Amino acid sequence: MKKLIIVESPAKIKTIAKFLDSNYVIMSTMGHVKDLPTKEIGITLTDNDIALSYVILEGKEKTIADICKAAKSSDEIFLAPDPDREGEIIAWHVDQEIEKVIKKNTKVYRIAFNEITKPAILQAIENPSTIDTHKVAAQQARRALDRWVGYEVSPILWKKLAPGLSAGRVQSVALRMVCDREEAIRLFKPEEYWSIESQFLYKKEPFHAMLSHIGKDAIAISNTEQATTIAQDIKKEQYAIESVTDKKRLKNAPPPFMTSSLQQAAYNRLGFSVKKTMQIAQKLYEGVALQDSSTPVALITYMRTDSLRLADSAVKQIRAFIDTSFGKTYLPKAVLTYEKKSKAKAQDAHEAIRPIDVHVTPTIAYKYLEEDFAKLYELIWQRTVACQMNPAEYAQRSIVIKGGAFTFKATGSTLTFDGYLKVYGVDEDDEDTKESAILPDVKAQEKVDLKKVNPKQHFTQAPPRYSEASLVKDLEKEGIGRPSTYAAILNTIRARSYTTLEKKRLLPTELGMAVTRMLVENLPDIMNLKFTAHMEEDLDKIASGSLDRDKLLRLFYKRFSKDLKTFAGKHAGKAGKIIQMTELDCPTCSKHKLAILYGKSGEFIGCSGYPECTFSSAFERMEDGSLTLKAPEPPQLLDETCPNCGKQLRILKGKFGPFTACSGYPDCKYIKQNKAPFACPLCGKDVTQKAWRGGKFWGCTGYPTCKFALFDQWEPTPCPNCQWPFLIHKNNKIYCANKECGYKKQ
């Protein structure tokens, strides 16, 4: 009996194949195979129906044809894309295609597995299901909502601001959060405050305490004069211990990872971007080579999840490992379970992210895996083991010191039992896991001597800009987006030039701020955090079968189309690329204000009286929101001279990056070109480096008569077979570029 398994990623094929016999053929869709058309909305809304028009994705015709050919001769077919809504729609689309060709008695099943192990694969095959139409409907609803916003809002942004801009139902809300944070930073006014730390001596043993109260009032010192006066008064008093409190404090282990917490921890601990984390996690899930390079092994469970649940079998294995490796003092009497606290409802069909086999330790991972793969696996392994370990214990001592009207407090904390920290370690940003100063063994009523008084000036701090990790944390907290969307959200707001990364923090560009202002003003619903979060909850309801897909879409489109009509009408016929007017006068004409503009090379500031006045300048936005014009950098002169006129060459910045040209321009128009050490193999002319929007390449100077071009990395070594003047490097191999030769080597 011939059986066909269709997975989503080709990387899984080798991992799964080793578990099954020769009756099984495994094929991959390589992601989505169908989607809404690119040149039209693809959604038809009538009184009776909402229809989504799917088309085969470009380049996937052969993939579908190959799958259909295999399905035609199969007796059983198992649709096995990833166990989420995106995977469900892929299974549904494949099912639509194979139903056209399969034999009458062929059985088609849907199977899903949270880990790629032999027991999980065999259990899925032995207990097949059918396509979950509720999940399909939820994915269709999300796709329709995103398509409406993207395709109907973006053209208005093109007309008003700049071509190529986009709006997105979730990405625009995420961008708003970044812009709102930047606005808060610009409006922030720091306030002065003071603290007073004093050093005391107890039997010649020094310790520090902070002033907490003056009389019954908590301290509130706002200027130097107050601080100086209070410090002088403190020195006049005699001090004694009022109370000593000793207690045990427990620090519980964190829960196992779900997608968002893994992204945050990998960013904070390893410095990995969200995108990098998900790419590595995907490969750890699909399978990587350990001892046997030809046999990939899946190391972790599915990495797109918002569940904190661990399978009973996994918990049993983890607890046994803790008992054996660390002893019973580290093992809780009862299994530890965790509940999600954020607004987004956990989809408990998945587990948390965990190692498939806890006995594959980080030591093994570092032995066989690339360093970054081993680091991420180690983080997942540590968190999973730690979540089933006893709390860390601290001995905490609090001392209250009184002298006259002044009350000081000192707190010290000492780790007495490391518990889960033995595996997971201390987070740098977690004050609860850090030890503090050891305080002396004092008793109430004992006297202490005041040694030093140290007033310290402070200023309140503006809220920090978002990092990728903190933005994901707040998106999750607000219930915006889902595990599968966080990486795409961050990628989109970066790719569209709406944000830049500065010191690992997301800084909105002027364009990003302008787009956000325009959308908030004209489309308040889709830019509202609560509205977007509520929409995510409704999509979850569709997935569970408690809400009808079309009901949600009709309610949304009714409000959205009304706002959209007003928005489009408000900007009808208007043109221009002014992002924002400023209060700065033009230094050239003095008649017009300067405006922030957006051009082909990005943002700049220019006279709003253009073309009457052509003043333009680069600019910098200061921390307080003010603008500073930047003088153009003078060209960098080189010691090298122009071969045409003898003047010095200089480095200039152009549309495609820096280039070297003659300083005698416009009299001399020489531009230096990097020349290859070989002639064009087609016509014999020089080959030089050229630039275009996609980057740099090498091309014949005889263009357009000769169209020789070289985009790959090359080395100036003649081919040992045919003497072609160079070899190219591609996919870790060296090839001869002469198609008639065929020479290649590792």
Lowest-pLDDT range, 250-254, 585-589, 610-614?
A: 610-614
Residue with the larger pLDDT of the pair 198 and 571: 198
Tell which CATH classification among 1.10.460.10, 3.40.50.300, 3.30.70.3270, 2.60.40.2130 matches the domain 139-188+466-566. Answer: 1.10.460.10
Lowest-pLDDT range, 186-195, 242-251, 609-618?
A: 609-618
Q: What is the helix (H) or strand (E) element at residue 713, kind and residue range?
A: strand 713-715
* CA proximity to 243, closest of 439, 436, 438: 439
CB 734 within 8 A of CB 745: yes
**What pLDDT score was predicted for residue 580?**
85
Active-site choice (302, 498, 557, 735) = 302
Residue 348 pLDDT more than 50?
Answer: no
Q: What is the helix (H) or strand (E) element at residue 454, kind and residue range?
A: strand 447-459
Is residue 302 part of the annotated active site? The answer reads: yes
pLDDT tier, 746 (very low <50, low <70, confident <90, very high otherwise): low
CA distance 413 to 427: 16
Q: Could you identify the residue written with the tokens 């987006």? A: 481
Q: What is the pLDDT of residues 8-50, one digit of tens each?
A: 989 899 899 999 999 999 999 999 999 999 989 999 999 889 9
**What pLDDT score was predicted for residue 454?**
97
pTM across the whole model: 0.81
3-131 and 139-188+466-566, same CATH topology: no
Angle at 144 between CA 139 and CA 147, to 5 degrees: 125
pLDDT tier, 734 (very low <50, low <70, confident <90, very high otherwise): confident
* Alpha carbon distance, N-terminus to C-terminus of the chain: 40
Lowest-pLDDT range, 254-258, 344-348, 473-477, 717-721?
A: 344-348
* Mean of all residue pLDDT scores within the chain: 90
**Strands 602-607 and 593-599: what pairing?**
antiparallel
Token pair of 18 as six digits: 């080793």
DSSP codes of every residue in 383-407: HHHHTTSPPEEEEEEEEEEEETTEE
**What percent of the chain lies above the pLDDT cut of 90?**
66
Q: What is the pLDDT of residues 106-142, one digit of tens each?
A: 999 999 999 999 999 999 999 999 999 999 999 999 9
Topology at the third CATH level for domain 3-131: Rossmann fold (3.40.50)
Q: Domain ranges in the chain? A: 3-131, 139-188+466-566, 192-252+392-459, 259-386, 578-630, 652-745
CB 607 within 8 A of CB 616: yes
Topology at the third CATH level for domain 259-386: Topoisomerase I; domain 4 (1.10.290)
Residue 100 pLDDT more than 90?
Answer: yes
192-252+392-459: CATH superfamily: Topoisomerase I, domain 3 (2.70.20.10)
Q: What is the pLDDT of residues 409-429, one digit of tens each?
A: 999 999 999 999 999 998 776
